[in-house]
Amino acid sequence: MKILITGSKGFLGTHVMQHLLGKGHSVSGVDIDKDIFKYGLPDERFDVLIHLAAYVGGRKGIDNNLYRITKNIELDRQVIEWAETHADKIIYPSSCAAYPKSLQTQEGTPMREDMAGGDTFDMYGMSKLAAECMLKFAKVKSHIMRPFTIYGPGQSMDYPLPAIITRAKQGECSVWGSGTQVRDWVHINDALRVFDYLVQREEPIILNIGTGIPLTFKQVAQIIYKEVHGDYSLNLITQTNEPEGAGYRYADITLLKSLGLEPTIGLDEGIRTML
């Protein structure tokens, strides 16, 4: 297939491009450093557009950053408008942040695909929900992915696992915030299997990408420390002056399992790919 990836030089874009090239697809990339606002996208037809481009920067980069959020909304609008006349379908990674605030602040509720809508926890989630609404009315077929916390080799220090791993190698076991915040950690290789599936799928779908396993940052930091040093740390530090985000985010993966896409890489195995 002929595929265009926006955001092709980012963590996710780099992995997706190399993976799809390895599968024999014809893949082109446009990155955020080529100003899409100024230069637009190629005036040619593609079988699939995978829209990953976004202005990011980790938790500190997006928390209530109105300028960056609105810039992303406009980027999504322009790319979706282009796709209506230049792509047969679009694959759009939204986010688990698109789920309601009520689900992200109460313990024990896995997020199911039909639960999105209403007030989100933060502005970033609102922007992702806005893009999903645009796709609902756009004149192009779309697949919406809702990734939970994807991690893997090549991820920048703006994101939790590389930062925790670096501190662990320096002998420190620490996390941002209280450490009690829950996330669903899914390895990039498991996420790539979902991209494979969606590239081939015709009928539109909304699909979580997660493991369905809730783990706190404290638990994750201890697992990382053990992988680095061979034993758990007795002195876990919580950096309560740093932001921690929503309290609870983990996936209901019933639909993912039904499609044969249940993740196979456990967190300890996944962490070893980053050491």
Per-residue pLDDT of the chain (275 residues; tens, 9 = 90+): 999 999 999 999 999 999 999 999 999 999 876 678 788 899 999 999 999 999 876 555 556 677 888 989 999 999 999 999 999 999 999 999 999 999 998 888 999 999 998 999 988 999 999 999 999 999 999 999 999 999 999 999 988 999 999 999 999 999 999 999 999 999 999 999 999 999 999 999 999 999 999 999 999 999 999 999 999 887 899 998 888 889 999 999 999 999 999 999 999 999 999 99
Q: Letter for the amino acid at 179?
A: G
Q: So what's the pLDDT on residue 232?
A: 86
Please tell me the total count of domains within the chain. Answer: 1
For 125, the token pair is 């989630």
Asked if 207 contacts 255 with a C-beta cutoff of 8 angstroms, the reply is yes
Angle, helix 123-137 to helix 66-86, in steps of 10 degrees: 20
SS3 assignment, position 167: helix
Domain-embedded: residue 82: yes
Q: So what's the pLDDT on residue 61?
A: 55
Domain-embedded: residue 269: no
Domain-embedded: residue 259: yes
Please state the φ and ψ torsions of residue 206, each to the nearest 5 degrees: -115, 130
Q: So what's the pLDDT on residue 34?
A: 67
Domain-embedded: residue 237: no
Q: So what's the pLDDT on residue 241?
A: 87
Q: What is the pTM of this model?
A: 0.94
Q: Which of 160, 100, 94 lies closest to 130, judged by CA? A: 94
Compute CA distances 48 → 137, 143, 197, 258, whole Å: 18, 10, 12, 24
Q: Letter for the amino acid at 148?
A: F
The C-alpha atoms of residue 210 and residue 110 are separated, in whole angstroms, by: 10
Measured over the CA atoms of residue 107, residue 113, residue 115 and residue 118, the dihedral's sign is: positive
Q: Letter for the amino acid at 41?
A: L
Domain-embedded: residue 235: no
Q: So what's the pLDDT on residue 68?
A: 84
Alpha carbon of residue 31 to chain centroid: 17
- At 195, which CATH number? 3.40.50.720
Residue 54 neighbours by CB under 8 Å, 6+ apart: 7, 32, 72, 75
Residue 80 sits in which domain range?
2-155+184-213+249-264
The C-alpha atoms of residue 73 and residue 37 are separated, in whole angstroms, by: 12
For 166, the token pair is 């670096």
Domain-embedded: residue 8: yes
The C-alpha atoms of residue 89 and residue 144 are separated, in whole angstroms, by: 11
Domain-embedded: residue 78: yes
Domain-embedded: residue 225: no
